């Protein structure tokens, strides 16, 4: 049934129009203010809002409420409480107070805290984030909240994200005032996260222990056909997938998520959803919701949605492109080149701030996307390398070059390019970026950070981008505020920034091996191929100072995050290794052994025949199988030994490095022999659905 989409959109959201309709005018005004600046409402007003929320939610069939938050697990957390309260007559009424709206105390002591709660308080508390709308999911009113310890330390991803948005707001406002802008009241960062995912058949998924336990296939021989024909990207979407996508869009629209684009991606069974961008914290909440709803809707269609960065070897993995920009309270995109010299000077200053920030905090950007899963993608010729560089396009690069050298931009003009005096040439959008190999690309009016993995919360990368850019803007503002001649100082500042940071600009092919060499050896860019070495940068004094300066993370908070992420890396690999051993010992070795016996029996029967029969197939295959079986057995033993050796690691960092250097190679070795066994074993004897079935199973 086709319903009126504008009426359906946001029907499960306690949004501004619902508030306007249901709140007294004064409360609505206060609420709007709270949404604008994130400040909390006083308790009397909170009570009024809570009652309106409850009435609205109960009318929509809600029975419970929950403080919905984003702990360090990378997913969301919720504990439901029903609205019921006993009345005097032995019955119940539905109650919800301002106190319950504003603050919650989930007994969340089992969520990761990186040691923070051991030193402060066992429990954390949740605090309402009025800048993101409450919504109904599963008949439960979900209230977006931040999660902190009693000492005030952030235990989640939302708190530092909000702090980083505040930091960049503050510094951007200083710059705008310098350009004479007095009308803007605040600046917010905007994000549009493009989400890639795989869809596979649920019945096949159930048969694969590796997919169920780790989200990716740990074994699987290559199918005869992969993505080499490029026939999946933007191809006709299979009927079952279209049915899934339709329902997904509807569910997301009802939750106020601006789902916009859907299409097939490069790998077989891979797809993408892109929303229209929104304010960063809302985009983050919505992306978390999108991932959750994708999984649920898939289940209703007999499908499984895989969000892992590398579910299948040999075809592309999944990423999440983080489109980022800065928008003023009057709706101006600060990364949009303007029409006047004045607007252009301002654009160039913001552009340079991002260039400098990316160059100075390359390590932090790399770190913000570092997970065991994403390590499979980065640098594997399917996603950007682990080295950060920026794509600006030839035109913009030529323009920056002419500013740096005081040269004319257009040879015909013979006039020097001077910031604040000249009108920039217009950059037609479609010439800006079709280079998909760049980790950080300027795409006409925004930057696209292409390194995040598909399952990652976008909070992490945006905390880093916001804080790093805020830091540079702060330095720019201080210098410009003290200038005697603003125009000249501005020009010098831009010129100097280009000169000092142009090493980070690279418009060529990021997948090329020659680039890795040039980047590291000639340009001195940082190359952090794996998660353990990237995570170490967290505790680099330069980074601790950065976050401290802007009140985004205290040193304790950083140390706790470093601990959590490092521990997580080791745990993920540990689980993968144990899963492999279990699969090999209980399914694969017995299956190959049984199949070898079957063939040996056939061989013996032929040999016993009075007539001489050709036994070449059986003989050769049995011999290959015996060899393979031995190979699997010894690789399995080697992985066991490698896992056992983890005990020798002295601390968490050493442990993570041990997993990377000893356990992962042993896992790869084991996979190699098992996959080769699969290619010589009877299809019906192999214990798991094959890559062909998984990747091409949906019509």
Residues that bind ligand ADP (CB under 6 A): 190-192, 194, 274-277, 323-325, 333, 443, 445-446
Indicate which of Mg ion, ligand ADP, none lies near residue 192 (CB less than 5 to 8 Å, by partner kind): ligand ADP
The strand pairing partners of 273, in sequence order, are 195, 262
Q: How far is the CB of 554 from Mg ion (least distance, A)?
A: 35
Residue-level length of the chain: 699
Q: How far is the CB of 443 from Mg ion (least distance, A)?
A: 7
- Cβ nearer to ligand ADP, comparing 190 with 621: 190
Indicate which of ligand ADP, Mg ion, none lies near residue 343 (CB less than 5 to 8 Å, by partner kind): none
Indicate which of ligand ADP, Mg ion, none lies near residue 325 (CB less than 5 to 8 Å, by partner kind): ligand ADP
Indicate which of ligand ADP, Mg ion, none lies near residue 38 (CB less than 5 to 8 Å, by partner kind): none
Closest chain position to Mg ion (CB): 321
Q: How far is the CB of 190 from ligand ADP (least distance, A)?
A: 4
- Cβ nearer to Mg ion, comparing 10 with 439: 439
- Cβ nearer to ligand ADP, comparing 47 with 272: 272
- Cβ nearer to Mg ion, comparing 263 with 586: 263
Indicate which of Mg ion, ligand ADP, none lies near residue 546 (CB less than 5 to 8 Å, by partner kind): none
- Cβ nearer to ligand ADP, comparing 114 with 275: 275
Cα-flanking dihedrals φ and ψ of residue 25, to 5°?
Answer: -55, -45
Q: How far is the CB of 194 from Mg ion (least distance, A)?
A: 5
d(CA 625, CA 641): 24
Indicate which of ligand ADP, Mg ion, none lies near residue 324 (CB less than 5 to 8 Å, by partner kind): ligand ADP
Using alpha carbons, select from 217, 329, 198, 326 the residue that is nearest to residue 267: 198
Q: Cα dist. 598→122, 401, 603, 630 in Å?
A: 59, 71, 9, 17
Tokens of 657: 């490095």
- Cβ nearer to Mg ion, comparing 15 with 435: 435
Helices 616-644 and 664-680, axial angle in degrees (round to 10) = 160
Q: How far is the CB of 614 from ligand ADP (least distance, A)?
A: 58
Q: How far is the CB of 283 from ligand ADP (least distance, A)?
A: 8
Give the interface with Mg ion as residue ranges (CB under 5 A): 321
3-state secondary structure of 323: strand
Indicate which of Mg ion, ligand ADP, none lies near residue 311 (CB less than 5 to 8 Å, by partner kind): none
Tokens of 156: 């989640």
Q: Strand pairing of 390-391 and 259-264?
A: unpaired
d(CA 403, CA 391): 18
Residue 520 has a CB neighbour count (10 Å cut-off) of 13
Q: How far is the CB of 133 from ligand ADP (least distance, A)?
A: 19
How large is the greatest C-alpha to C-alpha distance in the chain, in angstroms? 107
Indicate which of ligand ADP, Mg ion, none lies near residue 446 (CB less than 5 to 8 Å, by partner kind): ligand ADP
Indicate which of ligand ADP, Mg ion, none lies near residue 333 (CB less than 5 to 8 Å, by partner kind): ligand ADP
Gap between the terminal Cα atoms of the chain: 23
Tokens of 71: 């702990």
Q: Which residue has the tokens 């002591």?
A: 109
Report DSSP state, residue 584.
Answer: I
Cα-flanking dihedrals φ and ψ of residue 530, to 5°?
Answer: -120, 160
- Cβ nearer to ligand ADP, comparing 124 with 275: 275
Our CA dihedral for 150, 155, 159, 160, rounded to 10 degrees, sits at 120
- Cβ nearer to ligand ADP, comparing 67 with 446: 446
Q: How far is the CB of 446 from ligand ADP (least distance, A)?
A: 4
Residue 377 has a CB neighbour count (10 Å cut-off) of 23
- Cβ nearer to Mg ion, comparing 102 with 259: 259
Q: Which residue has the tokens 């101006």?
A: 332
The answer to whether 124 touches 106, Cβ cutoff 8 Å, is: yes
Closest chain position to ligand ADP (CB): 192
Please name the helix (run of DSSP H) or strand (run of DSSP E) that holds residue 140, with its range, or none: strand 140-149
Q: Which residue has the tokens 């509807």?
A: 250
Q: How far is the CB of 321 from Mg ion (least distance, A)?
A: 4
Q: How far is the CB of 498 from ligand ADP (least distance, A)?
A: 23
- Cβ nearer to ligand ADP, comparing 397 with 432: 432
């Amino acid at each position: 049934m086709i319903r009126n989409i504008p009426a359906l959109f946001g029907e499960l959201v306690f949004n501004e129009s619902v508030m306007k309709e249901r709140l007294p005018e004064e409360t609505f005004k206060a609420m709007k203010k709270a949404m604008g600046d994130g400040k909390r409402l006083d308790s009397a007003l909170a009570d009024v809002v809570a009652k309106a929320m409850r009435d609205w939610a109960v009318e929509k069939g809600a029975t419970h409420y929950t403080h919905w938050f984003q702990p360090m697990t990378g997913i969301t957390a919720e504990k439901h409480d029903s609205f019921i309260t006993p009345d005097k007559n032995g019955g119940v009424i539905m109650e919800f107070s301002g106190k319950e709206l504003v603050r919650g105390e989930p007994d969340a002591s089992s969520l990761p805290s990186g040691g923070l709660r051991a030193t402060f308080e066992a429990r954390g508390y949740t605090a309402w984030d009025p800048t993101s709308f409450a919504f109904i999911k599963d008949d439960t009113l979900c209230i977006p909240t931040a999660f902190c310890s009693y000492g005030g330390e952030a235990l989640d991803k939302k708190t530092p994200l909000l702090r980083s948005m505040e930091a960049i707001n503050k510094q951007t406002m200083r710059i705008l005032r310098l350009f004479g802008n007095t009308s803007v009241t605040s600046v917010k960062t905007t994000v549009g996260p493009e989400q890639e995912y795989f869809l596979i058949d649920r019945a096949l998924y159930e048969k694969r222990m590796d997919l169920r336990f780790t989200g990716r296939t740990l074994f699987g021989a290559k199918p005869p056909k992969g993505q080499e024909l490029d026939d999946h990207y933007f191809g006709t979407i299979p009927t079952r997938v279209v049915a899934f996508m339709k329902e997904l869009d509807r569910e997301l629209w009802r939750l106020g998520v601006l789902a916009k684009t859907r299409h097939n991606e490069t790998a077989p069974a891979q797809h993408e959803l892109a929303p229209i961008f929104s304010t960063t914290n809302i985009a983050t909440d919505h992306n978390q919701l999108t991932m959750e709803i994708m999984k649920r809707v898939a289940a209703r269609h007999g499908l499984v949605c895989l969000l892992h960065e590398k579910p299948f070897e040999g075809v592309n993995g999944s990423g999440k492109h983080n489109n980022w920009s800065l928008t003023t309270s009057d709706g101006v995109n600060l990364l949009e080149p303007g029409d006047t010299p004045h607007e252009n000077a301002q654009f160039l200053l913001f552009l340079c701030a991002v260039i400098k920030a990316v160059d100075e905090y390359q390590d932090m950007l790399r770190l913000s996307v570092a997970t065991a899963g994403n390590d499979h993608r980065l640098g594997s010729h399917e996603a950007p390398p682990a080295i950060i560089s920026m794509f600006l396009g030839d035109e913009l690069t030529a323009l920056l070059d002419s500013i740096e050298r005081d040269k004319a931009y257009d040879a015909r003009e013979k006039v020097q390019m001077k910031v604040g005096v000249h009108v920039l040439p217009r950059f037609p959008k479609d010439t800006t970026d079709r280079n998909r190999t760049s980790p950080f690309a300027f795409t006409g009016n925004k930057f696209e950070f292409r390194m995040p993995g598909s399952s990652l919360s976008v909070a992490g990368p945006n905390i880093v981008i916001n804080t790093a850019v805020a830091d540079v803007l702060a330095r720019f503002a201080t210098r410009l505020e003290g200038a005697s001649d603003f125009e000249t100082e501005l020009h010098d500042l831009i010129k100097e920034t280009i000169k000092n940071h142009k090493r980070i600009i690279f418009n060529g092919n990021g997948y090329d091996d020659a680039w890795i060499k040039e980047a590291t050896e000639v340009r001195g860019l940082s190359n952090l191929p794996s998660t353990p070495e990237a995570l170490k940068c967290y505790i680099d004094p330069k980074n601790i100072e950065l976050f401290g300066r802007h009140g985004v993370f205290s040193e304790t908070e950083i140390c706790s995050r470093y601990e959590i992420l490092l521990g997580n890396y080791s745990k993920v690999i540990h689980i993968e290794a144990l899963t492999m051993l279990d699969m090999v010992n209980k399914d694969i070795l017995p299956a190959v052994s049984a199949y070898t016996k079957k063939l040996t029996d056939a061989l013996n029967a032929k040999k016993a025949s009075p007539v001489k029969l050709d036994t070449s197939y059986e003989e050769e295959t049995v011999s290959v199988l015996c060899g393979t079986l031995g190979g699997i057995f010894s690789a399995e033993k080697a992985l066991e030994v490698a896992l056992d050796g983890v005990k020798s690691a002295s601390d968490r960092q050493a442990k993570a490095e041990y997993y990377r250097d000893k356990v992962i190679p042993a896992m790869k070795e084991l996979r190699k022999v098992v996959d080769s066994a699969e290619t010589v074993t009877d299809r019906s004897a192999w214990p798991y659905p094959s890559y062909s079935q998984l990747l091409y199973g949906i019509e």
